Amino acid sequence: MNPARTLVLVGPTGAGKSTLAPMLARHFGLALFDVDREIEREAGQSIPTLFEHEGESGFRTRETAMLHRLLDGGDALLATGAGIVLDAGNRHRLRTHGFVVHLHATPAQQLARLAGDGQRPLLQRPDRERVLEAMAEARDPLYAEVADLVFDTGDFALDGAATALIQRLDTHWHRNGVPA
């Protein structure tokens, strides 16, 4: 069993990472950090603006640096961006420094949840469903590689998902060998 003190949420866009994170952090008494929001705060720019000026590679460099800082910070809950697992070094760091929960959602569920969202740079295309399917094909094995626990958010309303995930974590996550 992974005794990491940091709880990390990974998964595709629209799986519920940023939405569930505050409820989980409150329940477990953890400081909450949304990796994308921390990047925006530090850069003084939005993610779409960073993508526009630095490209995806510039953003990914910032993402890796932020992940390293936050994982070194101790007891916390990190809500990551969907692409954090693309970098092999990030995957290694996640596995060795956090208890990682893969929040799973299908591309159809993501599409429904993201219907009115215009803030995700990689989805600003008319073929959003195809983009989500391609991302799932490429990223699902990477989420599986780092996950200590997989939780399917597709069958739950928000409150139900938080309650069910808390129950699963109470059973499976032992910070420093002590049940959460």
18 is in an annotated binding site: yes
Counting residues of the chain whose pLDDT is more than 70, the rounded percentage is 87
Mean pLDDT of the chain: 89
pLDDT at 115: 67
The per-residue b/e assignment along 55-72, b for 16 or more CB within 10 angstroms, e otherwise, is eeeebbebbbebbeebbe
170 is in an annotated binding site: no
15 is in an annotated binding site: yes
Specify the CATH number for the domain of residue 35: 3.40.50.300
Give the mean pLDDT of 68-95: 95
168 is in an annotated binding site: no
Q: What is the pTM of this model?
A: 0.90
60 is in an annotated binding site: yes
116 is in an annotated binding site: no
Residue 1 lies in a domain: no
95 is in an annotated binding site: no
Residue 178 lies in a domain: no
pLDDT at 79: 98
Residue 177 lies in a domain: no
The string of pLDDT tens digits covering residues 101-143 is: 999 988 888 777 766 665 665 566 667 778 888 889 999 999 9
Counting residues of the chain whose pLDDT is more than 90, the rounded percentage is 64
120 is in an annotated binding site: yes
Domain that holds residue 132: 6-171
Number of domains in the chain: 1
Residue 115 lies in a domain: yes
